[in-house]
């Protein structure tokens, strides 16, 4: 296998420089440590198929190309650096706890910036693209979502993919090479390194790209007051999130992990199967159950020290009484819910009923888990947040 085909950081950077037309400034060099560790883990542990290897190599080069182009935009438009990021609303909770639904409801408010999937997938304008009309990026993202849905029909039952809807900013954090790459493959050494690392650069880069996206939005005539973010990723980094986004309001959604963890394992196993020669369902279950238990312990510890930013939302309330939840969020954040925003939210809910999604079938035992184990692993969390 040639050096170019391997996950070799120098070769990946060289490919990115070539694809960018000769750009050379990748920005903050701290990303290189994560890239090196990730490359070793992909080579030695992930068990990738040739197809998966090609996909992930393309992804890493693409992330590096984006870094080059983002720095180029900042250099040519220094005013981007002056964009002010107000304290965001951040929705956190396990997948399948209503986080996506809540973010997409709130994103109807024109006073809130939302990061749409196409923006997180293609944060950098294509060469020659009109900033006021990013139609090429939107079209390409829509096409990719269509391919994913056709290739994996059960994906929509697990996570409602839509290129034009708000989605997780964790895709932007991948550019720092300190992110949830274990969603794509089993990467134990990379994850061990990440858990021990100072992830400040990842949040710094997230803010940098948010400024860039906010600046682009304003070129399109979109002006809001603050962002609404959403990612389970933050649960394990809550102290850092609150430090990097002072004044952030945290909306934490709750549902029994006995129901949600097997769903997460199913989602991850589905993704691993795209890239690996043989995706291990038990490894997926154990990896993500342990990760989420650790995440809850961290956030619970942070909440003891800093309770004020947090608002708890039960999944059943989001589903059955969404506007009671929305009003509680606006009261918690100290911002007005306008008639215009509420009407837009009502329209979106009417056009996007949850009961049109296919059922997602899974069981703990499919992923090497059991109800008794999940009850024990999440006992502290369940005692505090899940009604008996």
Express each pLDDT in 92-103 by its tens digit.
Answer: 999 889 999 999
The pLDDT of 354-369, averaged and rounded, is 77
| Residue 374 pLDDT > 90 | yes
Instruction: Look at the chain and count its residues.
Output: 388
Region 64-76: what's the mean pLDDT?
98
pLDDT at position 229 over 80: yes
So what's the pLDDT on residue 1? Answer: 42
pLDDT tens digits, 329-348: 999 999 999 999 999 999 99
Average pLDDT over residues 54-61: 96
Q: Model confidence at 150, in pLDDT bands (50, 70, 90)?
A: confident
pLDDT over 90 (residue 356): no
How many CB atoms lie under 10 A from the CB of residue 104?
Answer: 21
User: Who wins on pLDDT, 95 or 111?
Assistant: 111
Q: How is 81-120 classified by DSSP, letter by letter?
A: GG---PPPEEEE--TTSSHHHHHHHHTTSTTEEE-BHHHH
Find the mean pLDDT for residues 146-159: 74
- H-type alpha helices, the chain: 9-19, 31-44, 50-76, 99-106, 117-121, 135-151, 155-158, 170-173, 188-196, 200-219, 238-244, 257-275, 281-305, 315-320, 322-333, 339-351, 371-377, 379-385
Residue 124: per-residue pLDDT: 97
Q: How confident is the model at residue 152 (pLDDT cuts 50, 70, 90)?
A: confident
User: What would the mean pLDDT of 314-323 be, rounded to a whole number?
Assistant: 95
Average pLDDT over residues 14-37: 98
Q: pLDDT band for position 3 (50/70/90)?
A: very low
Q: According to the model, what pLDDT value does residue 40 have?
A: 98
DSSP state of 165: S
Per-residue pLDDT for 280 more than 60?
Answer: yes
Q: Which of 81, 356, 110 is nearest to 215 (CA)?
A: 81
Share of the chain above pLDDT 90, in %: 89
Map out the domains of the chain with their CATH numbers.
Answer: 9-385 (3.40.50.300)
Mean pLDDT confidence for 286-300: 96
Per-residue pLDDT band for 149 (boundaries 50, 70, 90) equals confident
Classify the C-alpha dihedral 303-225-125-13 as positive or negative: negative
Q: What is the mean pLDDT of residues 109-131?
A: 96
CB 330 within 8 A of CB 337: yes
Which among 197, 192, 148 has a CA at the least distance from the CA of 173?
A: 197
pLDDT grade, residue 327 (50/70/90)? very high
pLDDT value of residue 362:
79
Token digits of residue 361: 């079938």
pLDDT tier at 155, thresholds 50, 70, 90: low
Average pLDDT, the chain: 94
pLDDT at 50: 95
Split at pLDDT 50, 70, 90, the class of 4 is very low
The strands making up 89-92's β-sheet, listed across from edge to edge, are 112-114, 226-230, 89-92, 249-254, 310-314
- pLDDT of 291 strictly over 50: yes
């Amino acid at each position: 296998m040639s050096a170019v085909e391997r996950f070799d950081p120098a070769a990946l950077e060289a490919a990115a420089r070539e694809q960018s037309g000769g750009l050379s400034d990748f920005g903050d060099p701290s990303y290189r440590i994560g890239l090196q560790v990730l490359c070793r883990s992909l080579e030695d542990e992930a068990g990738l198929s040739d197809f998966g290897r090609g996909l992930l190599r393309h992804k890493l080069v693409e992330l590096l190309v984006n870094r080059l182009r983002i720095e180029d935009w900042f250099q040519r438009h220094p005013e981007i650096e002056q964009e002010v990021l107000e304290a965001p609303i951040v929705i956190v909770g396990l997948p399948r706890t209503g986080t996506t639904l809540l973010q997409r409801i709130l994103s109807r408010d024109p006073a809130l910036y939302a990061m749409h999937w196409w923006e997180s997938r293609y944060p950098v304008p294509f060469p020659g693209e009109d900033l006021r009309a990013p139609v090429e990026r939107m079209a390409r993202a829509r096409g990719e979502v269509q391919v994913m849905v056709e290739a994996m029909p059960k994906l929509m039952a697990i996570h409602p993919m839509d290129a034009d809807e708000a989605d997780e900013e964790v895709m932007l954090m991948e550019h720092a090479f300190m992110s949830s790459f274990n969603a794509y493959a089993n990467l134990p050494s990379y994850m061990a390194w990440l858990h021990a690392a100072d992830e400040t650069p990842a949040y710094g880069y997230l803010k940098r790209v948010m400024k860039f996206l906010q600046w682009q939005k304003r070129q399109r005539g979109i002006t809001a007051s603050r962002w609404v973010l959403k990612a389970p990723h933050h649960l394990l980094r809550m102290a850092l999130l609150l430090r990097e986004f002072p004044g952030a309001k945290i909306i934490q959604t709750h549902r029994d992990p006995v129901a949600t963890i097997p769903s997460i394992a199913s989602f991850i196993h589905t993704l691993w199967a795209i890239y690996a020669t043989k995706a291990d369902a038990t490894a997926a279950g154990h990896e993500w159950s342990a990760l989420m238990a650790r995440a809850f312990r961290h956030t619970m510890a942070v909440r003891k020290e800093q309770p004020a930013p947090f608002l708890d939302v039960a999944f059943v309330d989001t589903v059955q009484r969404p506007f009671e939840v929305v009003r509680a969020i606006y009261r918690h954040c100290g911002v007005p819910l306008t008639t215009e925003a509420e009407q837009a939210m009502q329209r979106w809910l009417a056009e996007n009923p949850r009961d049109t999604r296919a059922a997602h079938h899974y069981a703990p035992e499919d992923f090497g888990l059991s109800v008794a184990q999940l009850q024990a692993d999440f006992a502290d969390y369940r005692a505090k947040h899940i009604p008996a």
